[in-house]
Amino acid sequence: MGYGSRGDVEPLAALGLALRRLGAEVRVCAPPDPEFAGLLARAGVPHVPFGPSVRSVVTRPDPQPSDAFRLAAELVAAHFGAVAEAAEGCDAVVATGLMPAGVRSVTERLGIRYVFACPHPFGMPSSHFPPAGRPGRPAPPGADLRTLWKVDAERVDALYGEPLNTHRAAVGLPPVDDVRAHVLTGRAWLAADPVLGPWQDLTDLDLVQTGAWLLPDERPLPDDLTAFLADGEPPVYVGFGSMAMRGAPGAARAAVEAVRAQGRRVLVGRGWAGLAPIDGRADCLAIGEVNHQALFRRVAAVVHHGGAGTTTAAALAGVPQVVVPQIVDQPHWAARVAELGIGAAHDGPTPTTESLSAALALALAPAVRTRAAAVAGDVRTDGATVAARLLLDGTGGQPPLPA
């Protein structure tokens, strides 16, 4: 189960497919958004919807801090409701996405295995980087990393502690006094590629790194997109996925103008931000959700928000990338792309024509394309199968197959 954006749900679809191929029965609890139902249908796994639509949450006008507390309580209730019902008769539950506070309690009550997995290590306590922002009491001025992570744990408790312990008491379980540690366990799984996302010396926890969980995609590209690609030099793709960016029209204008400044055609991925062309010129095409595995191999560069899935897809395609990070793990992926020499990290979440054009100029350099192609050969594609074998072996099911 997982609650979050496409980057949280698509890996679960990939794991579900890998488990099915090894003979296991699978069901996936995920938000009710239609695009997530489509992902799971492609993997051939039943979809158990829970919680509110993620798009309705992230595109809500004028969001307030109190919204996070209401959502936390709603999700915990769903963990003990729809998710618990789906877990009946199962051997194990794999939980990911937005703090799955109640899921471990469900597995305790049922007496089955619980695994917490994450596509990045940046929500784990660390002596190397600070936690991402959460609503709650502010940290003391000048606080060190140890204090910041302590405050983060207190914020998690404030969000989830009361609803979690209320539901635990109702099913006869004792209270939890550290929700974050309870959810993460002492040995979480990291569903990230070892080349792109090494975790050693990043977090203070012990992790099991499986590689990224990638869902195969055999869908053909739409006819209008195929025709556009064939009608000139490879374009630059610009898309921000599930990010409902504030000021999206300005970001779209900056992106299109920056790409044109580099003498390139441009593909605009509409995404949840609703990006659109800025004029009717023939060098720009807006597209919806398409097969990125096929598309990225045919573009000059990928400009994106730095989600774990898009970063991995671009790296696997061997195409240079420009990361315009918005939240949570995305600044870290941007830094890693720059460190590996496979693209450029934009400075900050709000691109201008000048700033994005400069980053694109770096990414489009021949040496970067050569480096991106070389790194692509080191990116693993078997992460979901590795995780599936580990899961089945650990639950007494079918033993792992030979590597």
Q: What angle do CA 47, 1, 106 make, to 5 degrees?
A: 115
- pLDDT for 244: 62
* 243 in the same domain as 205: no
H or E, element range at 57: helix 54-58
The phi, psi pair for 273, rounded to 5°, reads -80, -10
Q: Determine the average pLDDT of the residues in 329-346.
A: 96
* 293 in the same domain as 185: no
Identify whether 402 is part of a domain: no
* 52 in the same domain as 172: yes
Instruction: Decide which of 241 and 151 is more confident.
Output: 151
| Number of domains composing the chain | 2
CA distance 191 to 14: 11
pLDDT above 90 coverage of the chain, percent: 81
* 274 in the same domain as 193: no
* 203 in the same domain as 247: no
* 148 in the same domain as 249: no
Identify whether 315 is part of a domain: yes
- pLDDT for 245: 61
- Please, which pLDDT band fits residue 198 given cuts at 50, 70 and 90? confident
pLDDT reading at 119 higher than 70:
yes
Identify whether 403 is part of a domain: no
* 163 in the same domain as 265: no
Per-residue pLDDT tens over the stretch 41-66: 999 999 999 999 999 998 888 888 89
- pLDDT for 402: 34
8: its two tokens: 């949280």
**Which among 185, 176, 118 is positioned nearest to 329, based on CA atoms?**
118
DSSP state of 123: T
Residue type, 341: G
Residue that is written with structure tokens 């099913």 in the block: 171
For residues 330 and 351, the answer to whether their CB atoms sit within 8 Å is: no
Domain containing residue 162 = 2-214+381-394
- Please, which pLDDT band fits residue 399 given cuts at 50, 70 and 90? very low
Q: Determine the average pLDDT of the residues in 176-180.
A: 97
Per-residue pLDDT tens over the stretch 2-49: 999 998 999 999 999 999 999 999 999 999 999 999 999 999 999 999
310: its two tokens: 């898009």
Q: Determine the average pLDDT of the residues in 111-118.
A: 96
- pLDDT for 246: 60
Indicate the SS3 state at residue 201: coil
- pLDDT for 133: 85
Per-residue pLDDT tens over the stretch 249-283: 788 899 999 999 999 999 999 988 888 899 999 99
pLDDT above 70 coverage of the chain, percent: 96
Instruction: Decide which of 241 and 287 is more confident.
Output: 287
CA distance 224 to 314: 22
Residue type, 254: A
